[in-house]
Amino acid sequence: MHTSRINEATGWLLAFRGSELLLTESGELPEIESLRHFSRWFKQVQRVGDYRGRPCYCAVLATDTPVFPGTCLRHLKKLLDELPQDLGHLAGRALELIEWDHTHRYCGVCGAPTTQRDDAIVRVCTNQMCRREHYPRISPVVIVAVERGPEILLGRSPRFPPGMYSALAGFVDAGESVEAAVHREIHEESGLFVRNLRYFSSQPWPFPHSLMLGFHADYADGDIVVQADELEDVAFFHVDRLPPNLPGPSTIAHWLIRDFCRRQDRRFGPGPELIKSA
């Protein structure tokens, strides 16, 4: 869908300037109709799904786009704790599609321009000798809460805010099973061996295109060895003495830690109930 047609569309608009989402001044998702006056600023408009029974579109705002009267721009990562979970997922989908659209303008095989098909989320090479189809890229990441009785293993990246710890995580390698990735990542980041992996839940993480796969695992063997190039600290924390700064309630890291606390009969923080697929 092209910008010219935004003037005919009705429904919701998820417009991003970088990773900042356009909202009304009161923090609501804007309706397209309310933004007609600014339609020339919206690029790469495409349908991303439905929200509250109405179509929902995404669009890109150039980095020099001004803040329109009656609106504000908020970074999606900071908004996820506040948005309804279904809207957070849709906004994440929109951000991933925008990023994919932006990075797949040209065919990676032959270099010819690509075009997006109207009936599917796929960009197709325009070179008739090639016609390679390019789908959105999704990068699986394992995130693991390792437990040892009433203790949970948490690590701290130098990139984290002061005092923050989280569950250990890492990308799945090419040709690697998710289970092998769990064992490898935990051993690389902590020096420990784990057993009894239990799949917990997943979360799309659109910064830029990760799919977080959450596991619980039990400590099996080994002593903690911190890999200083990745993490600055890794330690077991007793359920009654968790670090003061943990990931926010919209993150799968929070859900993993909260689930551990509940099984230890401890209360821990607010957060939405998980949307679990059947």
Rounded least distance, CB 112 to Zn ion, Å: 5
CA distance linking residue 144 with residue 66, whole number of Å: 41
Task: Confirm if 98 and 58 have CB atoms less than 8 A apart.
Answer: yes
Cβ closest to Zn ion, residue 71 vs residue 127 = 127
Q: How far is the CB of 128 from Zn ion (least distance, A)?
A: 10
Instruction: Count CA atoms closer than 13 A to 200's CA, side-chain side.
Output: 25
The site map against Zn ion for 54-93 (x = CB under 5 A) is ----------------------------------------
Binding mask 100-139 for Zn ion (x = CB under 5 A): -------x-xx-x------------x-x--x-x-------
**In 3D, which of 215, 159, 169, 214 has the Cα closest to residue 190?**
169
Scan residues 153-192 and list those touching Zn ion (CB under 5 A): none
Q: How far is the CB of 116 from Zn ion (least distance, A)?
A: 14
Residues 6+ apart with CB under 8 A from 46: 1, 57, 58, 59, 97, 101, 116
Kind of pairing, strands 139-148 and 210-221?
parallel
Number of residues that bind Zn ion (CB under 5 A): 8
Nearer to Zn ion, 107 or 234 (CB): 107
Whether 269 and 246 have beta carbons less than 8 Å apart is answered as: yes
Nearer to Zn ion, 101 or 151 (CB): 101
Question: In angstroms, what is the minimal distance from the CB of 53 to Zn ion?
Answer: 39
Nearer to Zn ion, 112 or 274 (CB): 112
Nearer to Zn ion, 132 or 184 (CB): 132
Identify any residues that bridge with 74 across adjacent strands, giving them in sequence order: 21
Q: Which of 86, 29, 116, 59 is nearest to 204 (CA)?
A: 86
Alpha-carbon gap, residue 132 to 130, rounded angstroms: 5
C-alpha of 262 from chain center:
25
- DSSP summary character for residue 122: -
**CB of residue 130 to Zn ion, shortest distance in Å:** 3
Query: With respect to Zn ion, which residue has the nearer C-beta, 45 or 107?
Result: 107
Report the residue number, 86 or 133, with the smaller CB distance to Zn ion.
133
Phi-psi category of 225—alpha, beta or left, where left has phi over 0 and alpha has psi -120 to 50? beta
Shortest distance, position 209 Cβ to Zn ion, whole Å: 21
Residue 101 CB, nearest distance to Zn ion (Å)? 17
CB of residue 123 vs Zn ion: minimum separation in angstroms?
A: 10
Cβ-based nearer residue to Zn ion, 121 or 130? 130
Which residues within the stretch 219-258 sit at the binding site for Zn ion (CB under 5 A)?
none
Environment class of residue 108 by beta-carbon count within 10 Å: exposed (0-12), middle (13-18) or buried (19+)? Answer: exposed
Question: Looking only at residues 30 through 59 of this chain, which bind Zn ion when binding is defined by CB under 5 A?
Answer: none
Q: Which residues bind Zn ion (CB under 5 A)?
A: 107, 109-110, 112, 125, 127, 130, 132
